[in-house]
Chain A
């Protein structure tokens, strides 16, 4: 038995049945991290000492038969923009290079109540801005399927670590696709929940009206299990929705007969790589074989979402990142003689280029004379996109399409064309602008043996239905065996 292949549910069972000790699991995965993460770069901080200590404590509880907690002894990675008490949280930025939070994010409190073991913090694009993980201040991340390829971003470290079998699950955050796109590139499962489903308290804010935390796992059931544990209203986040408790595993195996699925023409037109299009069309057939109907619809306004998204997200970022001033936490420039000079030097030194670019864009968009022309227009476009998607979802239970316009590309391939990288987010952005839930699951491999992701989007708070569809699909098609081969080769 290879410990790295085991899913959250399998590890849980083996620990509960005392076939494995928490320290054996954690120790084996740290050995793997030591061996292969120098190549992959999926962790920024490895929490070895504390994790081994915690695993030892759980071993004793296991021996006494006191194995409480849905994640008892299960290792986890956490994206480095989710604050972890006393554990470095850098957002992959020089600005927070030595930042040790004095409190836990709500998702961490919820997970920790189930007795998991924190293995470390996952690499990411700086402040979650990017789609290739090439914007990390510390190091790039490589795709476990092909180390010449990007893992996607911004939760690239989380997706790569899960795909490589270094942790069975990680949490990411998704503002314009940052959970789903890396999940797609790395051949794993990533969910962007409904806005308000998961508390954002303790998620370092990028664009507050779009950000959501979501799980990245190797299969659909594990993903549903983790979302069960982290969702729920929270009085520390006024945008978390009250009274939306749900069990995402309960009906995960339900029959799909009679389900109506929409496939927008624009999701499989010439803007999408041909191999991706073909994989999605095959996926549509799988759903038909499962008893659902799949029909083509039109979603023509999707061409505007990238522009609207970058105006809105950058505006919110420029405001949110104003807190990094060198005074209360984070980097502080040396030698500044006035307060204003301190701000300017600190921010010049602490932020990377992509972060500066977006702060400048957002500041411009919000500045006098441009607010109506750009910002308000973008927010109006958001209304139109939501109306469009709601119109489709009145007639259909869910919308399917590719997660990304292409499979993973090579490291360095797109780094000089910022606008093209922004445009690549076109398929994931609608769920953020509208707040709707969307999941990415593997649906194929391209000719370079790089994974292709299928995205399923649904109405607000329809995650249970999305997991149901994803699970039934996964029974017919998955990359589990291929992924095990990849994991074996890496070792």
Chain B
């Protein structure tokens, strides 16, 4: 239970909160859309561009395999990048805002 009451509407209009909100929304939804498109290229490509997936790039290893494997690394990459930006920027901005209201 909150020990303290806040003027939520005022915080929501606070320029620092608005800056946090804009930065965060752009980042989160942007990367979410990127990751979704990248993922759905896999089943779509396998179904409609099978010749591309069959191209052998390294010995027996074909493009399709490399692309499917890349999905794992792209997901991990996005996760780590988000953690870095959140730890560096979002958390700091939140902390500054909360301390001021404290």
To the question of whether A and B form a pair in one complex, the answer is no
Listed in ascending order, the chain A residues whose CB lies under 8 Å from chain B are none
Listed in ascending order, the chain B residues whose CB lies under 8 Å from chain A are none
